[in-house]
């Protein structure tokens, strides 16, 4: 675990800092709940819904400083996105675990890869919506391969 503050001014960011693990512990009514494990924080962060998960992933990219944003985020009022609460560890067995690497943040979305750890399958995504669809597909029908 590498504990760091913002690396925005850093010219080189090690590739392993781009990878996060999402452990989905509950998926009731298509509502994601679980833990986000990042290489920059020693404790997993809890998320209670998809919005919190996406904001945590975006915050992680800001902390690492990679990938850089190509657009400034729009806001109604200036303020930081909500932070997930640290958690001592996972509670219960995960329904699925995904290793996500956000390679680019272009066109106001993300592009990267997602690996379904239990099935050892991976797929690329071209937007945050495609990432959500990949995880939803894995959680709703665990017998089919990870693909869009």
Residue 57, sorted as left (phi over 0), alpha (psi -120 to 50) or beta, turns out to be alpha
Q: Where are the domains of the chain?
A: 15-140
Tokens, residue 17 = 């800092």
pLDDT tens digit sequence for 13-66: 787 888 999 999 999 988 989 999 999 898 999 999 999 999 999 999 888 887
CA angle 140, 146, 148 (to 5 degrees): 90
Q: What percent of the chain stands above pLDDT 90?
A: 48
Sheet with 111-116, edge to edge strand ranges: 85-86, 45-47, 31-37, 19-28, 96-104, 111-116, 121-125
pTM of the entire structure? 0.71
Residues 6+ apart with CB under 8 A from 120: none
């Amino acid at each position: 675990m590498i504990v760091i503050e913002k690396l925005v001014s850093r010219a080189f960011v090690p590739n392993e800092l781009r990878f996060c693990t999402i452990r989905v512990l509950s998926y009731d009514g298509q509502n994601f709940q679980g833990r986000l494990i990042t290489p920059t924080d020693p404790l997993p962060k809890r998320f209670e819904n998809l919005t919190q998960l996406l904001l945590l992933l975006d915050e992680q990219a800001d902390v690492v400083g990679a990938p850089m944003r190509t657009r400034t985020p729009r806001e109604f009022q200036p303020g930081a996105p909500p932070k997930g609460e640290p958690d001592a560890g996972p509670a219960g067995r995960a329904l699925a675990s995904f290793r996500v690497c956000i390679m680019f943040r272009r066109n106001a979305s993300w592009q990267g890869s997602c690996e379904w750890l239990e099935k050892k399958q991976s797929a690329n995504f071209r937007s945050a919506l495609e990432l959500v669809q990949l995880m939803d597909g894995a959680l709703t029908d665990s017998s089919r391969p990870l693909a869009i």
